[in-house]
Structure 1
Amino acid sequence: MYITSPRLTHEEMDMLQTNENDTCISIILPSHNNWTAGSKSINLDRSIQKAIDQLNLSYPDSKEELEGKLKHLANNVILEQYPLGLGLFVSEKIEYCVQFPFIVEEKISISNHFELKDLLYKVNYSNPYYVLLLDEKQACLYTGEFNIIHKVQDANFPLIYTEDFEYEKASRTNSYSGRATISSFEKDKSAVQKSRYLSFLKSVDDLLDIYISKNDSQVIICGVKSVTASFLNHSKHDDKIIGVQHGNYSHLNEFELGLLVSPLLLATQEEKMLEEISDLEEKKGEGLAEEGISDVWAAITDGRGYILLVERDYDVKVYYDKSYPLEIQMTPSKQSPGILENAVDKVIEMHLNKKGKVLILNNGMLAGHKQIALITRY
């Protein structure tokens, strides 16, 4: 759940390797169902023009090169592939586009570092999961990230249940014996059907090994209670199952099924966040934590940072003197003439470059810790 180098792409790693001379454009844009038909969107065009206007005002020497890169990247975006939000990241070194499988707020930033919090939030909580949809006829498996899911269609799934029991009509010697014989066959048929369906569910459970053993994936089970109960009673994946949705959902499409399981995922994510806050408070009691942007900045600059926790939309302007990198000020002074518009992304970048871990939490969860906190190494 921590952000670490192996979980970042090469482009994302490059985004962290910025310096004071880089010009970095970050455009984060929600769709909110506002993409227009075709390859263009008024909202996307408007955001790109805002960025170009900012370039012209603040970075005229870089405008021509970066404007060309930004337009090239945007022209190659297929908006239908970004149903909730997208991010465009451009500098002299990279052109990178990312899909956000959750709702984002619009952000347009041009500075010497990229806007990283939404990207890190995605990496923190986008471990793949699976939805297993069961009914009396088949088992369907879906792979998901946040509330975007896709149906698995391969050699294993969907797995169709077939009834192979051959029913033999009873011969009637007399009325009494006939009823008894038919009753016996009906009981046998019912028992065999139950046994065969249980074998089917066990086969489904075995097939899950192929998917969830590859990574730390979790599973959500959906289906009518009688079916899900039978599956759960015989599954060997109890530790991977994070929730069950009871009901007949075979008629739902991928989008609707994603919305159905979304509350379970959000609850699981929030539970993990609360666990991290509990660890923070424990370390604070041991004297191994700093709170607030000024103290966190100083500790990271000093090399004491271990785990950085920050609210997702927390931004703050600070003032600094390049001669004293350990210190930043919240108000301007003659001693601190430099201005850093977004100190939070800068401190995240500094911490990641020192191989630290970062957790992005939901807004308001760090209200008692000045919205940003750091567990220190010593």
Structure 2
Amino acid sequence: MDILTRKKFEELINSEEEWCISIYMPTCRMGPDIKQNPIRYKQCIREAEDKLFNMGLSKSEVGSILLSASDLIDETTFWQNQTEGLAIFITPEEMNYYHLPFEVKEQVVISDKFYTKPLLPLFTADGQFYILALSKNEVRLFKASRQTVKEIVMENAPRNMEDMKIDDDPRTKLQIRTANPVSNSSLGYNTASQGQAVENDFEKNELTRYFRAIDESLNKLHKGEEIPLVLAGVEYLIPVYKEISRYPNILDEFIKGNPEILYGNDLQKMAWEIIEPKFLKIQELAEAKYNQFSGQRNGLSSNSLKKILSQAYNGQIETLFIANGAHQWGQFNPDTNKIDFYEDEKVGNEDLMERAATLTISRGGTVYVVDPDKVPDGGIVAAVLRY
């Protein structure tokens, strides 16, 4: 299991057990340094053991909690297929891991909740987006971020248009001409520069059926999430796909040209040029809204962490800004609304900045982790409220 969706993230932040172990570590994806991956992980397991011993657990109890996690040390194939970072979450009953498209600081945190703050960039302005590379000869799906890109397997999706020719009708044997077609249809296209075009109703029907099968697989994969989708393909294919697609967040702009000749990294760079301005525009509008509400003193802005924690728990926060790297240790009891602040991390404490962020996300709000000088009002936290 390595794709961290918003739904799975919310399951993580809502988990609460006696022992929740969170391990983060940078990983190497190629070259001789790959050998360091299991070594580094083994050191993290040893650190988790030491912390559990210091919390009063016996050797047998520690061994039982970390059994499945320890078994992962010797999984050679696993360690040879990494990205930039790895997050592992362990309880006495199960273990889940997620490959991350960015490097994370090595750390082991043990509490009654999982530590999820390092995952926040996946759900902010530098977060995730899909790239769907469409052509008649192949279809590829990538999940990308500002930093990296990873190809995703779409279960039960056709590999190409030929996969859709499942009957013996001689019409399905027709060769699609590659000469420059002339068509009265708005879908006609000059192949001299960009590729083939839809030449007749039968081919359009076959293309529609092909795209519908792809779209069905994509919608099963994203499971209700609205991660932005950037399409890549020759121009006459894009409107055909958009017409049949039920995906909720397809960008109007797309990557033009034949995607078969492009690597994943090429597609990621081209897609980021399309999507970055949209991410930034949304953030700028949220900042302007905060400044407007703050100036109006209408009660729809907040920069007090103590108030923001309660507001986040109640689902009031529309947008939250937190300073990158900032921590505030303490305890928050939503039942009594009691909040205690502490200077240092210790057993039983939590990062209240992380708690505010995860509560906001779990209730449908947006979180931006920004440079400290970019937080509105100059503090470490600021929020735009729904009510």
Query: 1:149 offset after TM fit, Å?
Result: 2.1
Separation in structure 2 between the aligned mates of residue 26 and residue 148 of structure 1, nearest angstrom: 23
What letter matches 1:368 in structure 2? P
Separation in structure 2 between the aligned mates of residue 30 and residue 242 of structure 1, nearest angstrom: 35
Aligned residues of 1:140 and 1:152 also touching (Cα < 8 A): no
Q: 1:18 to 1:235 in 2, by over 3 A?
A: closer
Q: 1:114-153 residue pairs with structure 2 within 5 A?
A: 114-122=114-122, 129-134=130-135, 138-146=136-144, 147-150=149-152
What letter matches 1:357 in structure 2? G
Query: 1:372 offset after TM fit, Å?
Result: 2.6
Give the TM-score of the pair, scaled to structure 2: 0.64
RMSD over equivalenced CA pairs, Å: 4.7
Give the TM-score of the pair, scaled to structure 1: 0.66
What letter matches 1:290 in structure 2? S
Separation in structure 2 between the aligned mates of residue 204 and residue 54 of structure 1, nearest angstrom: 58
Q: Which residue of 2 aligns with 1:340?
A: 349
Query: 1:205 offset after TM fit, Å?
Result: 6.2
Deviations 1:127-175 (A, max 9, x none): 66342245xxx45322222221246696744237975569xxxxxxxxx
Separation in structure 2 between the aligned mates of residue 110 and residue 153 of structure 1, nearest angstrom: 36
The farther-off stretch of 214-223 and 24-33 is: 214-223
Q: Which residue of 2 aligns with 1:46?
A: 43
Q: How many residue pairs end up in the alignment?
A: 334
Query: 1:27 offset after TM fit, Å?
Result: 0.9
Query: 1:198 offset after TM fit, Å?
Result: 3.3
Q: Which residue of 1 aligns with 2:57?
A: 61
Counterpart check, 1:294 vs 2:306: yes
The residue matched to 2:255 in structure 1 has which SS? strand
Q: 1:107 to 1:297 in 2, by over 3 A?
A: same
Q: 1:88 to 1:219 in 2, by over 3 A?
A: closer
Q: Which residue of 1 aligns with 2:211?
A: 208
Q: Which residue of 2 aligns with 1:98?
A: 98
Separation in structure 1 between the aligned mates of residue 307 and residue 355 of structure 2, nearest angstrom: 14
Deviations 1:335-369 (A, max 9, x none): xx9983522234446667xx633433243285225
Q: Which residue of 1 aligns with 2:71?
A: 75
What letter matches 1:8 in structure 2? K
Deviations 1:235-281 (A, max 9, x none): 75598235433466533444554455344444444444444444544
Larger radius of gyration: 1
Query: 1:309 offset after TM fit, Å?
Result: 1.9
Aligned residues of 1:201 and 1:231 also touching (Cα < 8 A): no
Query: 1:190 offset after TM fit, Å?
Result: 5.3
The farther-off stretch of 120-129 and 284-293 is: 120-129
Aligned residues of 1:318 and 1:329 also touching (Cα < 8 A): yes
Counterpart check, 1:113 vs 2:113: yes
Q: 1:90 to 1:150 in 2, by over 3 A?
A: closer
Q: 1:269 to 1:300 in 2, by over 3 A?
A: closer
Q: 1:45 to 1:100 in 2, by over 3 A?
A: same
Query: 1:28 offset after TM fit, Å?
Result: 1.4
Separation in structure 2 between the aligned mates of residue 90 and residue 231 of structure 1, nearest angstrom: 45
Query: 1:112 offset after TM fit, Å?
Result: 3.4
Query: 1:87 offset after TM fit, Å?
Result: 0.9
